[in-house]
Structure 1
Amino acid sequence: MADSNTLTSNSEVIQNLIDGNVLAARALALAGVRHMFGVVGIPVTSLATQSVALGIRFIAFHNEQSAGYAASAYGYLTARPGVFLTVSGPGCVHGLAGLSNSAANTWPAVMISGSCDQRDFGKGDFQELDQIAAVRPFVKFAAKATEISQIPHLVLSALSHAVEGRPGGCYLDLPTDVLHQKISEEDAARILAEAENPRVRVVENLVSSVDIEKAVGLLRNADRPLIVFGKGAAYARAENSLKKLIETTGIPFLPTPMGKGLVPDSHELASTAARSLAIGGCDVALVVGARLNWLLHFGEPPKWSNDAKFILVDISKEEIELRKPYLGLVGDAVTVLDLINKEIKDDPFCLGKSHPWVEAISQKAKVNVLKMETQLAKEVVPFNFFTPMRIIRDAILAQGSPYPILVSEGANTMDVGRAVLVQNEPRTRLDAGTWGTMGVGLGYCIAAAVASPDRLVVAVEGDSGFGFSAMEVEVS
């Protein structure tokens, strides 16, 4: 019979052990994760509860697809990786929607999925799937923890990979047996300390002073310059640098849909209402944080003029090499814009309101706005798209600052809303994005409410788009 001292000693040893769920939760908390989206179940329920115990808010969804969309939008709005949790097999597959959305929009997100016991893989285990192979096409980084000691390093690596360079999705696979493995508190503390603050690769500034001089020279000598910016500039928090450049030079600007609000839509140099004239007539376009993809007609005729010269600012060297602009500037939007602003400060220029190009865009915009307002003023029964959009627009503007975050989803709903609804503050518009994905709306709404609790969130959704994720209303 064991004596009391032996029982006490064994009890202390047992109490000094933690499992993989606790270790993963501690790694997430150590990395500064504040929110987690997802759907719990075997084998990750304990990971969720342990995370909550450490102060991480868990937002439970009905479907992993919407949880993934929420995580990707959260990453965009906060510039921190949105983390979402799924079960194995089908849960992971549903979560691919969120990872692919992050990849398409270049937003940081990390999906953490449970998986089957490693000893039973290949035998037809419950929800068995080669999840690393499944996620690989959609992520920057994918890894499986094969033993408990790897968890902290892989958690922090996934989070850092998501935000470094061009943002995107990352994946971490936590098998059931690894989550159930145990480790001493002492070893856990040591491993967490070793994993803390992994070296993040800093994006090298590849912009030379010669290239900055060339960019400024092109803008200065252009007859019809245009500044275009998108959600990459919004993610980079480039609003102040952009506004300074626009107001210093007097160059008209055109935001892509989710770039709206970086400089207020109400600004006198906004050319959104004269979009066709702006892109069809410009001879030099400075494009910041926006890809020359379908949203910008690939930068090609007939929408753009044959002689248009593009200065493309992007954090991705590969993106610039793909588009082959007249001049490519690789770097963070704020860094590059600040260099351009500094170069202009030394030898300033400004088009002025009476410049033929500025005047032409201004007049065209006024004509188109008047046409739109005439249409909006009509009392049509039954409603068309314009009447409710006018009501929504006026209600949003009446809110004042901080303005609501608008989530727009649908085909006609989104198209009409893009023209009618006004954005006057940065990152206050979320829509179907680069892929034109339907079903993102409710997940985006929840992410916006979590990321920006000081702002009202307004969802303007088409009936079909809403139907993709309607049950998530219960989560909100």
Structure 2
Amino acid sequence: MSLSSALMAVHNQNSESKDSESQVDGNLLVALAFARAGIDCMFGVVGIPVTSLANRAVALGIRFIAFHNEQSAGYAASAYGYLTGRPGVLLTVSGPGCVHGLAGLSNAAANTWPMIMISGSCDQKDFGRGDFQELDQIAAVKPFSKFSAKATDISQIPNHVFDVVDHSVSGRPGGCYLDIPTDILHQTVSESEASRLLSAAESSRAQLATEKAFPSLESEIRKAVSLLRSAERPLIVCGKGAAFARAENALKNLVDTTGIPFLPTPMGKGLLPDTHELAATAARSLAIGRCDVVLVVGARLNWLLHFGEPPRWSKDVKFILIDVSKEEIELPKPHLSLVGDARHVLELISKEIKDDPLCFGKSHTWVEAISKKTKENVSKMELQLAKDVVPFNFMTPMRIIRDAILAQGSPAPILVSEGANTMDVGRAVLVQTEPRTRLDAGTWGTMGVGLGYCIAAAVASPGRLVVAVEGDSGFGFSAMEVETLVRYQLPVVVIVFNNGGVYGGDRRNPEEITGPYKDDPAPTSFVPGAAYHTLIEAFGGKGYLVGTPEELKSSLAESFSARKPTVINVTIDPYAGAESGRMQHKN
């Protein structure tokens, strides 16, 4: 949209006078700059001083998804960045709005997803005097932002907008922040000056390429292939960084060509189907405990991978790390590092192997060992899943949900999962067959992401079914956003595993129930039998209460077919599952 047509659209919307039509205020200039930078969607909560900014953006064709809470909106913006490869944008009011938005910004930082948070702030002349919602927001965002900027004059807006967009996706992606004081939003320039500022900012835009500025890897690629050739028990670990890089085809080619088993991290699931014959997910302990050379693609050796250290890993294992960040890749001191875009590096490895094929056949002792252990563990799990346990444990409803999701075929639904036991059991049971179809608590183990992620997934992939499987505690963080689902009529089915509390009901030993408040509910307990399904019904959505296999199957069939905002409240035995899921040792 040209500047003149944009101005016409905005002024027609606001019925402003002819004299003001030649003026562009800070709100419109921000919206114009983001539109020029390719931003097509924003998430947030409007209010003083950014309501006009949101309206200007909508008038320019940028979709604005309005939330009840900046926290959920921020989680949506972070996930949108991951799913689309373009920065998700969060708009907040000043002060407390900015603080609430830090949840999403920090989540983007931890997961290395591209995101931008824009916050209004108080008038510059009143800063330090106790102005309305005053906060040093640049200082507040510093721990969670890879780049921050504050516009102190309207002329700076276009450059700052392009800077935050470019920095969010350059190198290792992450969250960026843009601060725009109230007086700058109200400041004006002429239409011709606005056009000049936008053109100048575009022409001088920093060339922060996301996958072109990497050094030559010729020598390192040869070394990597040599290590894989000499390995007796090689393994490929793939993470969500590989998913973000759209490396699935390059990964499939390498795995199918070499016959090397692969292990995805939780959000790396689906890069190759979980049903692939070389998938080592069900033999995870064996795979990481005995492998001798590991090619790690777009994943970090953090707590999710036991830091790459004994006793989970062999003390002699050699790691080959592929990552876009030189600093991050050198932190664990790998045997070999390959700094670059995951897809590009995998293609180079396959090219190096092509003329001298490397292939571990199905009869190779290592591949056989992985395959045997996978079949054993899958068989054990299927025996548990085959039982219809009522009142429900976690396994019975998870099997029914898995089968209903698989029956949808392709495109596969996007799965959102959070909770302790719910998420842990779901990782093992719910099968991912396509890339970027699993969103969960992620690197930071963030709870409360569920509804924000659902909304982001539905907006990023229009028409695709989104299914959330969450514990009642995780659902409670953002449950009010079911109204947002209904308001925008998003095809999201939220399945709540309701076991009456955090990890379950009251699990205290008798000796722990003492003191002046011994008659209070346990810190882990919620209201028994909470009717979560009625919450969405209050806004016009569909709710189901289920407690038997037949009821769950029926509700899934109806809701998946309707593709309307739905909450399915699944009653779970309050004593099913374990405290803290699989992380009891940390509680």
TM over 0.5: yes
Report the secondary structure of 2:354's partner residue: helix
Shift of 1:207: 4.5
**Residue 420 of structure 1 aligns with which residue?**
429
- Comparing both chains, which one has the higher relative contact order based on Cα–Cα distances under 8 Å and sequence gaps of 6 or more? 1
Aligned equivalent of 1:87: 93
Q: How far apart, in 1, do the equivalents of 2:19 and 2:264 lie?
A: 61
Q: How does 1:185-334 map to 2 (within 5 A)?
A: 185-196=191-202, 198-202=205-209, 204-334=213-343
One-letter amino acid matched to 1:439? G
Corresponding residue for residue 392 of structure 2: 383
Corresponding residue number in structure 2 for 1:366 = 375
Structure 1 residue 12, shift from structure 2 partner: 5.5
Pairs aligned (count): 466
What is the Cα deviation at residue 199 of structure 1? 2.4
Query: Contact conserved, 1:317 with 1:330, CA < 8 A, in 2?
Result: yes
Give me the whole-angstrom Cα distance separating, in 2, the residues matched to 1:15 and 1:346: 65
SS in 2 for 1:196: helix
Counterpart position of 1:4: none
Q: Which runs of structure 2 are paired with 1:159-178 in the superposition (5 Å)?
A: 159-178=165-184
**Against the structure 1 CA distance between its residues 337 and 191, is the aligned structure 2 distance closer, same or farther, given a 3 Å change threshold?**
same
Whether 2:360 is the aligned partner of 1:354: answer no
The Cα of 1:454 is off from its aligned counterpart by 3.3
| Per-residue deviation, residues 252-300 of structure 1 (Å, max 9, x unmatched) | 0000000000011010000000000000010000000000000000000
How far apart, in 1, do the equivalents of 2:113 and 2:160 lie? 20
Q: Does the CA contact (< 8 Å) of 1:206 and 1:329 recur in 2?
A: no
Q: Where does structure 2 lack aligned partners over 5 or more consecutive residues?
A: 1-16, 486-587
Gaps of 5+ in 1: 1-10
The root-mean-square deviation of aligned C-alpha atoms, in Å, is: 0.9
Is the counterpart of residue 142 in structure 1 residue 151 in structure 2? no
Which segment drifts farther, 162-171 or 202-211?
202-211
Task: Give the one of 461, 464, 471 matched to 2:473.
Answer: 464
1:320: Cα distance to partner?
1.3
AA aligned opposite 2:88: G
Q: CA–CA distance in 2 between the matches of 1:188 and 1:385?
A: 58
Q: Show the counterpart of 1:473.
A: 482
In structure 1, C-alpha distance between the alignment counterparts of 2:18 and 2:99, rounded to whole Å: 41
Counterpart contact for 1:230–1:289, Cα < 8 Å: yes
Where 1:453 maps in the other structure, the secondary structure is: coil
Q: TM-score, normalised by structure 1?
A: 0.97
CA change 1:12–1:376 in 2 (3 A) is: closer
**What is the letter of the counterpart of residue 397 of structure 1?**
L
**Mapped partners of 1:452, 1:442: distance in 2:** 15
Q: How does 1:448-459 map to 2 (within 5 A)?
A: 448-459=457-468
Structure 1 residue 457: deviation in Å? Answer: 0.2
What secondary structure, in the 3-state scheme, does the structure 1 residue paired with 2:331 have? Answer: helix
CA deviation profile, 1:2-43 (whole Å, cap 9, x unmatched): xxxxxxxxx765431121001111111111111100000000
1:144-159 aligned at under 5 Å gives the runs: 144-159=150-165
Whether 1:18 aligns to 2:24 is yes
Residue 183 of structure 1 corresponds to 189
Q: Is contact 1:43-1:114 (8 Å) kept? A: yes
Matches of 1:36 and 1:193, distance apart in 2: 23
Query: Structure 2 CA distance, aligned partners of 1:200 and 1:66?
Result: 32
Alignment-mate amino acid for residue 172 of structure 2: R
In the alignment, what sits opposite 2:440? Answer: 431
Aligned to 1:110, the other structure's residue is in SS state strand
Question: Would you say the 8 A contact 1:402–1:454 is kept in 2?
Answer: no
> Percent of pairs identical after alignment?
77
The aligned runs of 1:118-137 (5 Å cut-off) are 118-137=124-143
Could you tell me how far apart the structure 1 residues matched to 2:103 and 2:206 are?
Answer: 29
Match of 2:46 in 1: 40
Q: Which residue among 409, 428, 452 is the counterpart of 1:400?
A: 409
Q: Distance in 2 between matches of 1:297 and 1:45?
A: 45
CA distance in structure 1 between the aligned counterparts of 2:388 and 2:22, rounded to whole angstroms: 72
- In structure 2, give the amino acid aligned to 1:447: A
Q: Indicate conservation of the 8 Å contact 1:315/1:332, yes or no.
A: yes
Matching residue of 1:6: none
SS of equivalent to 1:40: coil
Length-normalised TM-score, structure 2: 0.79
Indicate if the aligned counterparts of 1:207 and 1:331 stay in contact, CA closer than 8 A.
no
| Residue 208 of structure 1: how far off its partner (Å) | 2.5
Q: Please state which structure has a larger fraction of its residues in helix.
A: 1
1:107-145 Cα deviation digits (max 9, x unpaired) = 000000000000000000000000000001111110110
Map 1:71-82 → 2, pairs under 5 A: 71-82=77-88
Q: 2:418 aligns with which of 388, 392, 409?
A: 409
SS at match of 1:365: helix
* SS of alignment partner, residue 426 of structure 2: helix
1:68 aligns with 2:77: no
1:241 aligned counterpart, secondary structure: helix
CA–CA distance in structure 1, aligned partners of residues 77 and 317 of structure 2 = 38
Q: Contact 1:228/1:255 (CA < 8 Å) preserved in 2?
A: yes
CA deviation after TM superposition for structure 1 residue 467, in Å: 0.3
Q: Is the 8 A contact 1:207 1:330 kept in 2?
A: no
Counterpart of 1:110?
116
Counterparts of 2:260 and 2:266 in 1: how far apart (Å)? 19
> For 2:119, what is the secondary structure of its paired residue?
strand
Deviating 4+ runs (over 3 angstroms): 11-14
CA distance in 1, matches of 2:331, 2:356: 32
The letter for the 2-side match of 1:161 is H
CA distance in 1, matches of 2:60, 2:328: 40
Q: Which amino acid aligns with 2:334?
A: P
3-state SS of 1:55 partner: coil
Structure 1 residue 195, shift from structure 2 partner: 1.4
Per the TM alignment, residue 200 of structure 1 is displaced from its structure 2 partner at its CA by 2.3
Other structure's SS at 1:170 match:
strand
2:351 corresponds to which of 342, 346, 349: 342
